[in-house]
């Protein structure tokens, strides 16, 4: 007789999914112990499926999985955290999609990723709390800060940490003056080394100071930060271009968020 299928349990966040055959779905999930995985949920698109509600996008679920030849099979799924508030408006859905797309883009299968797992869960929980506060007309932190903090810590944990403290040319500590940012090299040149380069741009001391603070700080220390909107927009632009430079492609969720912002402004 053949060996019985082996099963295992894992926590997972559903990053994306696609329909397969008549009633199945292939799920891309992120796990703390095995990084990114592709699993199949058989029969999930049938109205009688008990698993469907537990395998929605962005859900934190506990899974029982059976090992199989092509894709391992989700045999049981239980919701751990549904993040229901962030699902109530398109802006927060777009932000959650952005967090998950970044994790999807910067991780590989079978890589143990506990720090990135904790980063993603923290960000989703905070986004959900922000959405809940907004729904109740209560004061909340600036959600753009959360996204910028997440981007910087994701870059650091995935091996792409930008260099904001020492000059890329000399290795010496950067001074509080207008330095020169290199998007392609993910770092900063001092005036001596950057002033005459064609591939850099001026970086004001205030903006560099905030980038450093976001990079070195825990979220709890960033959460209440108040800063000039213009500086926050500059930081968003810098980090967006750094991410694109590393990935060498646009992110679908960024286009979605920009469309929403355009509609809101119009």
Return the pLDDT at 1: 34
CB atoms within 10 A of CB 53: 12
Strand pairing partners for 11?
62
Q: For 167-189, give the DSSP string.
A: -TTT-PBPPSS-EEEETTTTEEE
Task: Output the furthest CA–CA distance in the chain (Å, rounded).
Answer: 74
| Residue 104 backbone dihedrals phi, psi, to 5 degrees | -60, -40
Distance (Å, rounded) from C-alpha 107 to C-alpha 219? 22
- Reported as a single tens digit per residue, the pLDDT across 80-134 is 999 999 999 999 999 999 999 999 999 988 887 899 999 999 999 999 999 999 9
For 150, the token pair is 């997440």
215 vs 264, higher pLDDT = 215
For 197, the token pair is 């380069």
For 24, the token pair is 């199945």
> Contact at 8 Å (CB) between 83 and 127?
yes
53 DSSP 8-state letter? G
Distance (Å, rounded) from C-alpha 112 to C-alpha 2? 30
Going by C-beta distance under 8 Å and a sequence separation of 6 or more, which residues neighbour residue 173?
165, 166, 167
Burial of 25 (0-12, 13-18, 19+ CB in 10 A): buried
CA dihedral (102, 103, 107, 108) positive or negative: negative
Select from 62, 59, 65, 60 the least CA-distant residue to 77: 62
Select from 189, 151, 149, 195 the least CA-distant residue to 170: 189
Distance (Å, rounded) from C-alpha 147 to C-alpha 264? 19
Residue 161 has pLDDT above 50, yes or no: yes
> Contact at 8 Å (CB) between 141 and 224?
yes
Select from 230, 166, 225, 224 the least CA-distant residue to 204: 230
- Reported as a single tens digit per residue, the pLDDT across 38-72 is 999 999 999 888 898 999 999 999 999 999 988 99
- Reported as a single tens digit per residue, the pLDDT across 220-235 is 999 999 989 999 999 9
Return the pLDDT at 2: 40
Return the pLDDT at 3: 43
For 252, the token pair is 């679908």
């Amino acid at each position: 007789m053949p060996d019985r299928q082996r099963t295992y349990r894992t926590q997972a966040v559903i990053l994306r999914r696609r329909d397969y055959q008549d009633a199945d779905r292939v799920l891309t999930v992120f796990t703390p112990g095995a990084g990114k995985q592709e699993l199949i949920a058989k029969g999930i698109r049938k109205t009688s499926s008990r698993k469907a509600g537990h395998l929605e996008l962005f859900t934190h679920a506990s899974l029982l999985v059976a090992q199989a030849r092509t894709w391992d099979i989700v045999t049981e799924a239980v919701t751990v955290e549904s993040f229901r508030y962030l699902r109530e408006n398109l802006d927060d859905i777009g932000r959650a999609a952005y967090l998950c797309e970044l994790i999807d883009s910067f991780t590989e299968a079978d890589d143990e990723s506990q720090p990135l797992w904790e980063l993603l869960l923290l960000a989703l929980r905070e986004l959900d709390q922000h959405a809940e506060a907004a729904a109740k007309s209560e004061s909340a932190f600036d959600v753009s800060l959360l996204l910028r903090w997440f981007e910087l810590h994701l870059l650091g944990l995935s091996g792409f940490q930008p260099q904001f403290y020492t000059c890329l040319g000399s290795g010496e500590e950067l001074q509080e003056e207008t330095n020169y940012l290199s998007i392609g090299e993910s770092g900063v040149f001092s005036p001596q080394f950057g002033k005459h380069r064609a591939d850099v741009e001026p970086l004001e001391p205030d903006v560099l100071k905030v980038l450093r603070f976001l990079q070195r700080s825990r979220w709890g220390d960033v959460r209440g930060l108040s800063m000039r909107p213009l500086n926050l927009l500059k930081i968003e632009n810098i980090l967006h271009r750094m991410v694109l430079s590393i990935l060498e492609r646009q992110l679908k969720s960024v286009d979605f968020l920009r469309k929403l912002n355009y509609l809101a402004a119009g």
